[in-house]
Structure 1
Amino acid sequence: MTDAAAPPHANHDTVLLHGFGTSGHLWRAVCDALPGAHAPDLMGFGTQAIAGRADQGTADMGAALLPLLRSLHAARGPVTLAGHSMGGKVALWVAATHPDLVRRLVLIAPSPPTPEPMSDRGRAALRAAHGDRAALTRQYRTITRQPLPDVDFGQLVRDGLRASPAAWTAWMDLGSREDITARLGGLRGPVTVLYSADDPAIAADTIRAGVLPLLLGAQAREVRGSGHLLPLEQPAEVMAALLDV
C-alpha cells in the first residue's frame, strides 16, 4: 500500500509514546499492525538515555518531541498522538500546548495530569528498581495480567537497565508529581482514554476520578483482563482505540 492509498490514521501520522522505564519497543505488537507508525524513545529512555537530566519534567520530554511532530505536520498534517502511562501525560502536555500538531489524542492507562497517586513506599521501591534486574523482573510480573512473549519481557528488563538514572529518578520525584491541569484548556481535538479495570499500577478509580473528569467529552474505553502494559497485553484493544472502531 502506498502512502497515498493509506488510511489517514494507519501509519505515518501515528505517533506512539511509551511509558516510564520502557522504550518504543513497548509498541512492537501495535507497530506490527500499523507499519510506518512512529514510536520514538522519550528523553532519558531507550536510545535517548544519554539525554536524560535530573531536572527533566513533562514539558522537557514533550518539547524534545516537537521537531518530529513538526516534521510530520509539514509533510502530512496533524498526527494521532497516543501515550501510555508516563507517555500519556507527555502526550497530554503536547496536545494541550501545541494543538495544531495533534489531530486526535489517545491516552492508554495514562499517568493523570494531577500528581500521580503513589505511596512513599511505592515510589521508593520503584526508584530503587533502576538497574536491578531482579527488581525489574518482579515489577513487570506484578503489573501485568497477561503473559508476555519472552522477546517483549526481556526488552522491558533491558530497557529498565539502560535507562538514564537521572531521568528515572526525575520522573519519580518531579514528573509524576507535576500538575499540568492549567494547560488542559488548550486541548482541541477528540480524546480517547483506554484503561483496564484490572490495572494494578494506575487503578481504574484513578482514571475515573483523576483523568476523565478533567477531559470533558473524552471517550472512555474500559477493558478487563489486562494489567498496566496494554500495548503488549491487549494490542487489539489498543488498535481499536487508535482506529476508533
Structure 2
Amino acid sequence: MASLERQFAVGMAGLAGASLLTGAVTRFTGKRERARRYLLHERPDGSLVEVDVHIPPQAQRAVLFDNGMGAPQEYWDWICGALPADMGYVRFNRPGYGLSTPSTQYGLEPHFELLQELRDTYIADLPVVLAGHSLGGYFVAAYAARHPDAVQGVTHVVMIDATEVVSLRHSRRTDVDRWSHQRMLMEQVFAATGLSVFRPAMNAHQQYRPEVNRSYTAFLANPRTWAKAYREYRDAMTYPELTDLDCPLTVVTAENNFGDNTLHAGIQARLAVISDRARHHFVNGSDHESILAVQPHAEEVAELIAGEPPSGPLGPSWQPSTSTKKRPAAEREEELT
C-alpha cells in the first residue's frame, strides 16, 4: 500500500512539474515570437506599447482597433485580413498586456491619451474608423465622445458586442460579479501552474491561423494577463455612461450569448441611441468570442467596418432580434432603414 501511495505521489509531482515547465516554456517562446512579429512603440515616458501597424502606400483610410478585456491584439486577425486594400489598420495591447509595459495609471484619460498618440504617430491625417470589442467598444466610443477634438477625422465608430457600463455597475455584488471575480482569480492560478496551456480560457477551439493560436495561448498563460483583466473589470464599474456621440455609430451584437439573449439585445440597443446616425446589426449564430474568432462572423463585421457608415437614426419600428427567432441579415438590415 505504501508503495502504491508513493507511486501516486511521484506521478502527481511529475504531472505538476511537467505542467509548470510547459507553462514556463510556452510563455518564453510566446514572448520571443511576439517580439519578433510586432513593433514596440516607445511613449514619451519611456514605456513601451506593443503595436501591429499596417498602413499600405495606397491607404485612403485606416481603422484603430481596441481590444476586449483580457484579450490580445491578434484576435482581430480575421477582420484585418478581410479589410479592403485601401484600408490600413493599427492594433495594440494596452499597458500590462503582452509586451506592453505595465502602468500604475488607470481610468479613461490615460487611455484616451494613448489612443490619440497612436493616431498621431501611425495614422496621421488619414480618415479613421474606431472599432472596439467588449470593453474596447466602450473605450473607443468614450474617446470619440469625451476626449477634446477626438472626433475630428473619425468617420465611424463601431462597437462590437460592447460593454455597457451601467449594466456592469448594477451587477456588482451579484452572483454574476462573484463568478467573474472567481473566474479571473482561478485563471491566474491556471496560468501560473501551466494548466491554461492545455485548456485555454479563450480560443479553446484554436480557430485562428496556427501562429496566432500559439501566440494567443501564450498570452493567456501569463498570470499578469488576468491580474490586468481583473483591474480593468473593477475600474470599468466606475466609468461614466455614454450619452452623446457626434459621429456615425454601428453597434454590432452577438446574437447567441450566454444567459438571456433578449436582455442582452436590449442592453446593446441602449448603446445605439447615443448617436443620431446609427444602426444596430446582429451577427447570426455568434457569441461574444466567436464574433471575432470565427472567420465568417469576423468577415461580416469587417464589412460593417469598411462599408458606408449609417446616415440616419434607427427607425421607430426597429426591434432587437433574439436567438430564438433568427432572421436573415438582409431582413434585419431592411428594418434599420
TM-score (norm 2): 0.59
Number of residues of Structure 1 aligned to a counterpart in Structure 2? 231
Question: Which residue identity lines up with residue 282 of structure 2 in the other structure?
Answer: E
Match of 1:112? 164
2:201 pairs with 139, 143, 160, which one?
139
Residues 138/158 of structure 1: CA separation in 2 closer, same or farther (3 Å cut):
closer
Q: Which residues of structure 1 form unaligned runs of 5+?
A: none
Identical residues among aligned pairs (%) = 19
The Cα shift of 1:208 comes to 2.4
Residue 32 to residue 62, structure 1, CA distance change in 2 (3 Å) = same
Cα distance, 1:198 vs structure 2: 0.7
2:246 maps to: 188
Residue 68 of structure 1: which of 106, 118, 143 is its match? Answer: 118
Aligned to 1:27: 76
Q: Secondary structure at the match of 2:90?
A: coil
Q: Tell me, which stretches of 5 or more residues in structure 2 are unaligned? A: 1-54, 309-337
Aligned to 2:151: 99
After TM superposition, the structure 1 stretch with the greater mean CA deviation from structure 2, 124-133 or 217-226, is 124-133
CA distance in 1, matches of 2:163, 2:72: 16
* Whole-Å separation in 1 of the counterparts to 2:279 and 2:81: 25
Residues 143-190 of structure 1: CA deviation (Å, up to 9, x unaligned): x8x762354444333222334555222112212x13322x533x2110
Matching residue of 2:188: 130
1:38 to 90, 99, 103: 90
CA contact (8 A) 1:59 1:90 kept: no
1:51 partner amino acid: P
Match of 2:298 among 230, 235, 240: 235
Secondary structure of the residue aligned to 2:201 is helix
Worse-matched range after superposition: 232-241 or 146-155: 146-155
Alignment-derived partner of residue 173 in structure 1: 234
* Among 250, 272, 283, the residue aligned to 1:223: 283
SS at match of 1:193: strand
Structure 1 counterpart of 2:216, which letter? L
CA gap 1:105/1:196 in 2 versus in 1, 3 angstroms:
same
User: Separation in 1 of the partners of 2:125 and 2:177?
Assistant: 44
In the TM superposition, what is the alpha-carbon distance from 1:203 to its structure 2 partner? 5.4
CA distance in 2, matches of 1:202, 1:22: 24
Given candidates 116, 125, 130, the residue that maps to 1:81 is 130
Distance 1:178 1:170 in 2: 12
Give the 3 Å change call, closer, same or farther, for CA 197–184 of structure 1 in structure 2. same
Describe the SS at the equivalent of 1:194: strand
Partner amino acid for 1:140? M
CA distance in 1: counterparts of 2:238 and 2:273, whole angstroms: 15
Verify: 1:198 aligned to 2:273, yes or no: no
Return the structure number with greater relative CO, CA threshold 8 A, min gap 6: 1
Q: Secondary structure at the match of 1:38?
A: strand
Residue 102 of structure 2 is aligned with which of 51, 59, 63? 51
Find the aligned partners of 1:190 and 1:65 in 2 and give their Cα distance: 19
User: Corresponding residue for 2:25?
Assistant: none
- Quick one: distance in 1 between partners of 2:261 and 2:98? 26
Q: Distance in 2 between matches of 1:155 and 1:122?
A: 27
The more displaced of 88-97 and 210-219 is 210-219
Provide the alpha-carbon RMSD of the alignment.
3.1
Q: Which deviations, in whole Å up to 9, do the C-alpha atoms of 1:15-66 show, x marking residues without a partner?
A: 1111111121011112223363111112221221x2243x623443332222
Answer with 158-167 or 17-26: which moved more. Answer: 158-167
Name the larger-Rg structure.
Answer: 2
Mark the CA change 1:198 to 1:135 in structure 2 (over 3 Å): closer, same or farther.
Answer: farther
> Judging changes above 3 Å, is the alpha-carbon distance between structure 1 residues 207 and 93 closer, same or farther for their aligned structure 2 residues?
farther
Q: What is the TM-score with the length of structure 1 in the denominator?
A: 0.79
2:247 maps to a residue whose letter is G
Q: CA deviation at 1:132?
A: 2.0
